[in-house]
Amino acid sequence: MSVDSPLLELRNITKRFPGVVALKSVDLVVERGDVHVLLGENGAGKSSLVKLLAGMQQADEGELFFEGAPYQPRTPLDAFRRGIRVVHQELNLMPNLSVAENLLFEHLPRHNGFVDYPALYRRASALLAEVGLDLAPQTRVDRLGIAQMQLVEIARALCYESKLLVLDEPTATLTPREIARLFGIIKQLQAKGVTFIYISHRLNEIYEIGNRVTVLRNGQHVATRPIAELSLNEIVQMMVGRAIHEEHAFHPEVALGAEILRVTGLQRTAHDPAVSFMLRSGEILGIAGLVGSGRTENMRAIFGADRRVAGQIAVDGTPVEIRTPHDAVRHGLGLLTEDRKHQGLLLDLPLAINITLTDLNKISRFGLLRSETEAREATALVQSVQIKTPSLRQIPRNLSGGNQQKVVIAKWLFRGSRVLIFDEPTRGIDVGARREIYELLWTLAAQGKGLIVVSSDLSELLSICHRMLVFSKGTIVGELERADFDQERILALAYQEYLRP
């Protein structure tokens, strides 16, 4: 182990998930004492990389070296032991315990086998002071606001002698004052020799804190450079890249019909900005924006899956009352969630049951199921959306991602829904099957249905949509017709609200 070996080195790291390659032979070097900024669009592979470092997942190929020695964490504990701590984007606090207990959970001060509470609270107070949190250490964590929880999580990472701290979007919920304090702490620790990997969507803050920057794109390493050498524009360009995705021929011949859905002044909570837009029959409307920018949340609110405090919805120009998914479905809406397995499918029940779930009246009489009608209807749909399955008895669990998505589509076609809201329609689906899903979307649009497609894959939206809305921090910041589609402009819009100081 030589002193001049870098702190962390990734060689040729590949990580696959069913249907997708999250990391493709990534090489990365993190120097000692750096604040190394990791950038990339949604799905570029940042989270997968963090999970590998934290020992939550293992690489399929390649090697990791930490302080010059091989590093193969199998569990988060392995990572802690080597001096690597990760502050995850999703908070991992125990809500029913006090702040102090959360901070020092792994090292509760003990006295004769009992927890030494006075000592615990003293040490916790000191840690809280360090991150500038004015909190009683006895406070239960579930009483805290989200920003406070974030700071507690950071303080927890600080209380151990760490060599490498990975911060995944630590500032997402913080106010400028808290951010300034966090940066102060990072610089202090940096001076003591701690190295940081810093992930953020807020591009303006990385100049303030970072030394070096690495850009990932589609699971591949694009570049690692000193941050001072790069302009914001150059960074964005590297993140977007030239469209390396396969171009999908757009089918423009569809004549758009009349307005089919109009949303006016939709607000999920009183603090959220109002969202308004309309959709025409035969149209594919893309919704772009970063994860957490309100895309999914607003779509769920329209569908009645989550609460909203304000907003009118009109179908075919007629105002309708939508409070629950039941209302939405009755008025011809269908929601295809991102999480197909947990929200869309009955994974262990046969295909036929999945497909007919949206409208059991159609296959029953006096409450009794008519299995022949069900089999006939389901078969027709399996053929029309081309689900590759040996039989209707197959369960979705055994199907590929693309075929699972087709089952969900078939479900809504069975119901005869006219407005279909797709959330990440091709997530976890391989390239070939994606093409088939796109064909299916075009066919549905040609039949006069209105389609809304939420996607983190910008090239996907660019190739399949007629029109695009861009969300940034809960607001619709832009609306672009197909003729005006432009990657950089859309990305700039998506970041717009986050760049405001």
Partner 1 sequence: MTHPSEPRPAAPASTRWQRTVYFLIQDLGIAFALLLITLVFALSAPYFATSGNFLKIFVQIAINTVLAAGMTFVILIGGIDLSVGSVLALSTVVGALIMTNPALPVGLAIPLATLACMGVGALCGFINGYVAERWKVPSFIVTLGMLNIASGAARVISKNSTITGLPKSFTDFGTLIIGGVIPTIFLIAIGIIFIGWIILRFTVFGRFIVAIGTNEEAVRLSGHNPRTYKIAAFMLSGLMAGVGGMVYLLRLNVGSPIAGSGYELNAIAAVIIGGTSLSGGKGSIIGTLIGACILQVLNTGLQLLGVGDNFKPIVIGMVVVFAVIIDTYRERYLRTLELR
Binding interface with partner 1 (CB under 8 A):
246-249, 303, 305, 324-326, 328-330, 335, 337, 342-349, 353, 357-358, 360-361, 364, 367-369, 388-391, 393-394, 398, 400, 411, 415, 430-433, 435-436
User: Are the C-beta atoms of 425 and 441 separated by less than 8 Å?
Assistant: yes
User: Are the C-beta atoms of 36 and 195 separated by less than 8 Å?
Assistant: yes
Smallest distance from partner 1 to CB 365, Å = 10
Q: Is 25 helix (H, G, I), strand (E, B) or coil?
A: strand
Smallest distance from partner 1 to CB 349, Å = 6
Rounded-to-integer distance, Cα 224 and Cα 201, Å: 17
Nearer to partner 1 by C-beta: 265 or 416?
416
DSSP 8-class letter at 427: T
User: Are the C-beta atoms of 396 and 388 separated by less than 8 Å?
Assistant: no
Rounded-to-integer distance, Cα 482 and Cα 342, Å: 34
User: Are the C-beta atoms of 201 and 174 separated by less than 8 Å?
Assistant: no
Task: Identify the CA nearest to 195 among candidates 53, 13, 47, 15.
Answer: 53
Smallest distance from partner 1 to CB 369, Å = 6
Rounded-to-integer distance, Cα 309 and Cα 193, Å: 49
Smallest distance from partner 1 to CB 415, Å = 7
E-strand spans in 237-306?
A: 259-267, 275-280, 284-288
Smallest distance from partner 1 to CB 261, Å = 16
Nearer to partner 1 by C-beta: 145 or 432?
432
E-strand spans in 269-401?
A: 275-280, 284-288, 310-315, 318-320, 333-336, 364-365, 368-369
Nearer to partner 1 by C-beta: 370 or 500?
370
The torsion region of residue 367 among left (phi > 0), alpha (psi -120 to 50) and beta comes to: left
Nearer to partner 1 by C-beta: 255 or 368?
368
Smallest distance from partner 1 to CB 11, Å = 30
Rounded-to-integer distance, Cα 356 and Cα 352, Å: 6
Smallest distance from partner 1 to CB 419, Å = 13
Smallest distance from partner 1 to CB 398, Å = 6
Nearer to partner 1 by C-beta: 232 or 395?
395
Nearer to partner 1 by C-beta: 324 or 447?
324
Task: Identify the CA nearest to 40 among candidates 52, 53, 49.
Answer: 49
Smallest distance from partner 1 to CB 317, Å = 22
String of DSSP letters for 445-494: HHTT-EEEEE-S-HHHHHHH-SEEEEEETTEEEEEEEGGG--HHHHHHHH
Nearer to partner 1 by C-beta: 182 or 353?
353
Nearer to partner 1 by C-beta: 411 or 466?
411
Nearer to partner 1 by C-beta: 215 or 336?
336
